Structure formats: C-alpha cells, structure tokens
Chain A
C-alpha cells in the first residue's frame, strides 16, 4: 500500500495544472485598467467585466482564485452580484473583495454579511491591492494543489483496493492486539462472513493459533470458518509500523487442496512401498522355495543316480561273458552317471555358497586361505608341473572358507585350461583406496573377450572337451559379491588370462 502512494507522490508537489484566474468587475473602464495595471503578473489570467451580469456569466465558465467587485455599479450593484454569486453552488467558495469608496459601518457589515472577505477602499493603493490579492491567489493555488493531492490519493487508494480485492488470498490488516480493521473479499469468501461482521473481530477468532503481530512466513495454522468448517491455512504476517501504532498485515491462504494432494501423494507412496515390500517378501519366499526345491531335487536325484552308476559297475564286473562292445556301452552309462554326479554336487556347492546367511565377512588372512587352496590342489599342481609365484597377500574382509574356495577354483581353472607350456601362475594383490585387488595371471589358452561376462554364469562351460561342471566361476562370483567385492577377467585367446577380484582391506 505504501509503495503505491510513494509512486504517486512524485506528482504531488508539481505546480497545479489549472491556471489561476482573477475576475475584475467595475463599470468604469479606467478603474479596470488601473486594476489590471496594478495586478500585472500576480495571476495567470485577469478577466475584466463591466457589470454584475457579465461577472455572473464569466463565473459559469471557470473557477477563479478571487473576485474583485465594485460595489457601486449601475444596474445590478456589487452587493446584489455577491448575493447571486454566493447563492450558486459552484461559485460559493470564491473569495470576494469589494471595491468601495464608502467607509460606513453599515456598508461594511452588509458586505461581510454577503461573504466579503475584505474591502479595498478607493482610491486604490496598488501595493495594498497586490499584497491582498496575491494572498488569495496563493490560497487558491494551495487549494488546487490539495484537491489534486486528494485526487491522487483517491486513485492510489482505489488501485490498492482493486489489488486487495483481486488478491487470490485472504488479506487482512489488524491492530497489534489482533482487532481486524480491513479485509478483502477473499476473506469474506474464505470465512463465510460479510466484511461488516469481520471488521472489529479479533484475528484469533479466525486463526486460533495466531499469537502476536510478529513476522511469519507461510506458517501452517488451523483456520476456523463459521461454526462447522476448519481448514488448514498458510499464514504470512508482517508488522507495519505506522503513526497510529503497529499494524499487522496478514495473508491467509487456504491450503486444503494442496494438503489433500500431499496426503494423496503420501498415501500413494505408502501404497507403493507396501506393494514393493509385499512383492519383495513374495520374491524372497519364492526364491527360498526355489532354492529348497533345487536343493531337494539335486539331492533326491543323487540317490537313484548312485544306483545307476554303482549297479552298472557291478554288472561290468560280475560277468566275464560280456562282449567288448557291451562293456563299452556300460562304460558310457557309468561316465554319464559320473558327470551328472559331479553336476549335482557342484550345484549343491553353489547353493551353499549362495546361501551365505551363516557367513559373516570378517578380517581374513588371504595368505592362509591361499596356502590352503594350494594344499587342496597339490596333486593337480604336481601332475601339470605348474609353477606358482605369489607375492605378499594382505588381510582382507572376507569369509575364509569362501576365499579358499575362490583361490582354489581360479587356480584349478588356470591349471585345467593350460596351453602347451607348463603352467605359470602369478598371484599378487594391489591396494586401491580401501580395497585390495587380487590378480591371478596365467599363461593358458585364454578366453575370447565375448565370453568374459558369460563365464561367471551357472553351468557356463566354454570348452566341453574339458572336464569340469562350469560352476566354479559362478561360485567365485557369488562368494566375492557376498563380501562386497567384484570379480572380472582380462584375457585374449592364446595369450593367457588374468582373473581379478576385490575385497575391502581389513585395516580400516
């Protein structure tokens, strides 16, 4: 509001737009000329007329700062003219100065009665005339200025009111104690009350939580509208220091809709989370069921398989009457059975690693695990005349039994997939930040890069002429990921392979 007035106020003190005019009335042309000469430059315009009738006619055309009126005129005299001037609404306020040669008291009283503000006695003294008339000219100018200021103020107030009325929020002005002194139409709508009822009420009747005329920005409060409706409102208030004391401007926004949308979003989020939780639980259940099924199936298949293999062997040995080709057929049955036996075993082994609930990662000596793996593989190492070079191996966060398994599987792979030359396997560990990265580099047949991802899957054998079940690397991946590490390979066909896996260092 104050800004609006300030913007207007730059125009307030400019000179009046309307010209100040003086009306000179005298039947004697000489007198008129003398008056005009004496008043030269005092007003913007001097209008001279020779009779009361002419004066009244001029007064219809415009405002005058003052009228100099000769008393003694033929026809309508000065007093009669003044009476008519006073009787007209439009000219009632214009100051009249009588020009007269008579100084009788009766004469003066009649003049003052008719609204004269002063008398000028003939012969006119130009200095006195000028000073008296200029006072009225100044008064007229001030009055004009005041009128314009009032108009400007009225315009500013009108704009303020329009703005206030058009505002989408309830806007109120209250005294420091909360007494409401101004509201806009949105306030009426929001609080289902007329302006008349709202003015004079206390803000606390609308917003019970409102406490004082302090600064607040978008505080959410409960608003009470009538006896039956309460709604959430966002209240912004700021104090306004005026000459009449502290006022507070309060803006109240109904946030019912926003709150409803927020609630809806919250509800939707909650539902979504519920569904995710339910779905996850279902997945965990079905995963568990699948695991149990796979375990049971692999276990139950083992029994009849054992029968097939062992009884084929019994048959093979029990009779000398078997033909050679029959023995050959039996051998195929037995080989097939043994391969299936290995598959079932490694599948169970993989599931045991995957089911790692019992294996909390802890500080583990990778050197110890490595030594154990070497011991398990000693027969294969000897039979392949392999050389294994190993650097310093650190303490890491892992599961000891799984780490041994990882080393064992990676070493066994390197030994199995050897090239022409005797296997050479170089094992080392490098620190990178909080992690150690182990590398096992071999001089074997290498792996085509297009298979580098696939080999870590279950039952992914690339070379079917090799023995093995294709589950060793899947076990490694499962194990390494269990302690938060990563496993990958870098290799080219014919140029050996380097397997890497990582684990968190145990010293931090």
Chain B
C-alpha cells in the first residue's frame, strides 16, 4: 500500500439510490476515496475481515438478512477495525434507535435528509471528517 492510495470507506447500504447519493456527495465535495459497498449484513460480515481495513464505516440500520445493530456490535467487539469511526445513516427517527446506536459505539447518528443540498452538506461533513481523520 502506498501513501498516495485513496483511503477505503465501507458502506453497508441496500438502497441503490442512497449509494448513488453517497457517491454523488463524494464527487460534489471532491473527496478522494475508495468506496466499498456491501448490500446486506452477511456479505459485510464475510468480507470485512478479508480486505484492506477501511478508515470508516457508513451503516444503514434497516438491512436485509439482519440489521445494522448486529453489524455495529460485530465491528466494535472484534477485529482490527474496532476503533474506526462508524456513521449510522438511517431513515429512522426513533430516539430509542439513536440512543441504542450511541450506546453501542456509533460515532455519528444521522437522519437521511429529504433534500439534495441537505444530504450533501450533512452527510458530506461526516464523510469529510472520517476521511480527514484518517489522514492525521
């Protein structure tokens, strides 16, 4: 791995349009990173150990074959990436979910905005801080 290689950001998200939006945000903000996308929990569990450790994880809560909480506890409790920042990005507005995520070690808890500019601003800020954090 060379110093110039782009950092890896893992996204666990089943919704293709959200994945598109994340990529759009990276492009808009001219953030350079290698986005690895898993579409469900088993795939993520299987692959996380076998690849370049990511600088951070963007996690949806509502996933097929399991849920984001499962993955959150898996990452936090084991393996080489247990200390990376994790941003839970979800459509859930439940305060209970929010509290639970923080208790389980989520770094950020973000509600998916229903506006392009808000999405780019809010989600973009979090991606920036994850990526920049990885450079220091």
B24 cross-chain contacts in A, Cβ below 8 A: 314
Contact B114 A305 (CB under 8 A): yes
Known: A310-B21, A311-B17, A314-B24. A338 touches B91 (CB 8 A): no
| A337 proximal to B (CB < 8 A) | yes
Could you say which residues of chain A place their CB within 8 Å of the CB of B15?
303
Closest residue on chain A to residue B113 by CB atoms: A306
Q: Is B93 in contact with A306, judged by CB distance below 8 angstroms?
A: no
Q: Which of B93, B114, B116, B119 contacts A341 (CB 8 A)?
A: B114
**CA A210 – CA B71 in complex, angstroms?**
80
**Chain B residues with CB below 8 A from A299, complex form:** 91-93
Bound form: Cα–Cα A167–B91 in Å: 84
A309-343: contact bitstring with B at CB < 8 Å (1 yes, 0 no)? 11101100100000000000000000001100100
Q: Does B76 contact A (CB under 8 A)?
A: no
- B114: chain A residues within 8 A (beta carbon): 302, 305-306, 309-310, 337-338, 341
Chain B residues within 8 Å of A311, by CB? 17
Q: Which residues of B contact A348 (CB under 8 A)?
A: 93
Closest chain A CB from B117 CB (angstroms): 8
Indicate if B112 sits at the interface (CB-CB under 8 A).
yes
* Interface membership of A307, Cβ < 8 A: yes
Whole-angstrom CA separation of A306 from B115 in the bound complex: 7
Q: How far is the CB of B121 from chain A (nearest CB, A)?
A: 13
Q: Most chain-B Cβ atoms within 10 A of its Cβ — which of A302, A306, A337?
A: A306
- Chain A residues with CB under 8 Å of B116's CB are 309-310, 313-314, 317
Q: Which residues of B contact A302 (CB under 8 A)?
A: 91, 114
Contacts of B17 in A (CB 8 A): 307, 310-311
Within 8 A of A (CB), among B38-52: none
Say how far B96's CB is from chain A's closest CB, in angstroms: 10
Query: CA–CA, A309 to B17, complex, Å?
Result: 12
Interface positions of A from 421 to 455, Cβ below 8 Å from B: none
Within the assembled complex, what's the spacing in Å between the Cα atoms of A305 and B113? Answer: 11
Interchain CB contact (< 8 A) of B115 among A303, A307, A310, A317? A310
Q: Shortest CB–CB separation between residue A400 and chain B, in angstroms?
A: 15
Distance between B113 CB and nearest chain A CB, rounded to angstroms: 8
B21 CB → nearest A CB, Å: 6
- Bound complex: CA of A309 vs CA of B118, how far in Å? 12
Bound complex: CA of A345 vs CA of B117, how far in Å?
19
Digitize B7-21: 1 where CB-to-A-CB distance is under 8 Å, 0 elsewhere.
000000001010001
Closest to A311 in B: B17
Given contact pairs A307-B17, A310-B21, A311-B17, A338 touches B93 in the complex (Cβ within 8 A): no
Q: Which 3 pairs from chain A and chain B are nearest by CB?
A: A313-B116, A306-B114, A341-B114
Chain B residues within 8 Å of A, Cβ to Cβ = 15, 17, 21, 24, 91-93, 112-117, 119
14 contacts between A and B (CB under 8 A): A302-B91, A302-B114, A303-B15, A307-B17, A309-B116, A310-B17, A310-B115, A310-B116, A314-B24, A317-B116, A338-B114, A338-B115, A341-B114, A345-B93
A interface residues, Cβ below 8 angstroms from B? 299, 302-303, 305-307, 309-311, 313-314, 317, 337-338, 341, 345, 348
